[in-house]
Amino acid sequence: MQLRSDVKAFLVVLVVTTVALLGLIRFGVIEHLSYAFEKGRMRAQRESLPTPDKLSDLSRAGRTVAALVTPAVVSIETDRVAHIALRDPFAGHDTIAPRDTVPSPFEPSTDLPPDPSNQDNYRRRRHPPIVSQSVGSGFIFDADQGYILTNAHVVEHARHVRVYLADDRRTEADVLGVDVEHDLAVVHIALDRLHQIPMGDSLLTQVGDEVYAAGSPFGLQGTFTKGIISSANRRNVHIGGNVYASLLQTDAVITPGSSGGPLVNMRGRVIGINTAMATDTGEYDGVGFAIPSALGSKLIPELISGGPGELGVMVGTVTLSYWQEEAKSLDWTAPYGVLVGEVEPGRAAHRAGIKVNDIILHLNDTRIDTHDRLAQLTASTEPGTSVKLRIWRERKEIELDVEMGRRFAPRD
């Protein structure tokens, strides 16, 4: 009997509780209590976040670095010759011809007959020059002299270089030196009241260090991003035909237009020069590269001066197998000399009239045994010095006067 009474009591309580809950649900009491509980929980979480003063402390380092760095970061705009495929009316096949992208002072004529006596003038009138514009970044490393460091690919072959400063000033710039191999260049601006960023030591950089990248991605001047060093010594990176022995890798955002901007550490010192991103899509994928500041600092003096002497030729020693066979075809069998395989347009050798398949025998009175010997002699000759080259051409020796050029002189 006692058990039945307990069961009855339990059932009564259950029914009453159920009715009560149904009533609460019907009038929204439970939802109200649940909402009040969630609201209280969120308020407690919000109050646990850093106060405005604490947030200011956490952001102070980044804000300070940005304030110190961005006044010295510049946007660089260049005009350069673009190349497109044209139909050459004289050759009868597609050729690569230079064009410009600025408005031409005259409209192209399409009804001019070919004039073999003046082909260049015909091409210029039929296909007027067009200059393409590109935008990159750079930073002032010497405010007193107006020196800016950037990437070689930003200013190489540029007809005109314009620099836009963070204070909205704009000026024309001169390219002092370009090192295509290491993708570095120095340009000069003649302005006062400039700010600069000190160079840091990239050799002290380690994986996990926080860094900032500054520049003008897509022309958006004064852009400042944050990341870490993903690799302090990424080896053998292939970029644009060059192989870099060592680069800094970072996940700080580096996109088109960022090239040449600084990668700085938490002390606002340059540890890298932003140069490229790794991508399969053409969009940023979280992997960017910068040239270590240790290399940049080492090359800066030579970039400013234009570097050591250089002829601007690619040569091979005639005693080596491939080059030996080529030399024999030119009736040169002596065990010395270097065969010219390529002449760089606009360089000293090109201006002096040196041609492919010339064999360089002597520089002044020194016999040229190997290509290394020629490189040593040209590097030790003061740029601007006139030298005599004795060469083998068309089965006879001739002499040419050559004014020595500079290795890092801007390319035409």
- What residues are annotated to the active site? 153, 183, 259
| Three-state DSSP class for residue 342 | strand
Cα 391 from chain centroid (whole Å): 39
Whose CA is closest to 315, among 369, 373, 371, 380?
Answer: 371
State the helix-helix crossing angle for 29-48 and 2-26, rounded to 10 degrees. Answer: 70
Contact 151, 239 (CB under 8 A): no
Q: Are strands 262-264 and 309-310 parallel, antiparallel or unpaired?
A: unpaired
Burial 68-82 (b: 16+ CB within 10 A, else e): bbbbbbbbbbbbbbe
Contact 178, 150 (CB under 8 A): no
The CA distances from residue 64 to 54, 61, 70, 139, in Å, are 16, 5, 10, 17
Residue 155: CB atoms within 10 A of its CB come to 26
| Residue 402 in tokens | 């050559």
User: How many whole angstroms separate alpha carbon 376 and alpha carbon 355?
Assistant: 21
| Sign (positive or negative) of CA dihedral 212, 215, 216, 217 | negative
Whose CA is closest to 177, among 169, 189, 185, 166?
Answer: 185
| Sign (positive or negative) of CA dihedral 198, 202, 207, 213 | positive
| Three-state DSSP class for residue 125 | helix
| Residue 252 in tokens | 């700080």
| Residue 406 in tokens | 């500079």
In sequence order, the 6+-apart residues with CB closer than 8 A to the CB of 193 are none
At CA 370, angle to CA 348 and CA 372, rounded to 5?
A: 65
User: How many whole angstroms separate alpha carbon 375 and alpha carbon 386?
Assistant: 16
The CA distances from residue 123 to 47, 135, 159, 252, in Å, are 74, 29, 20, 46
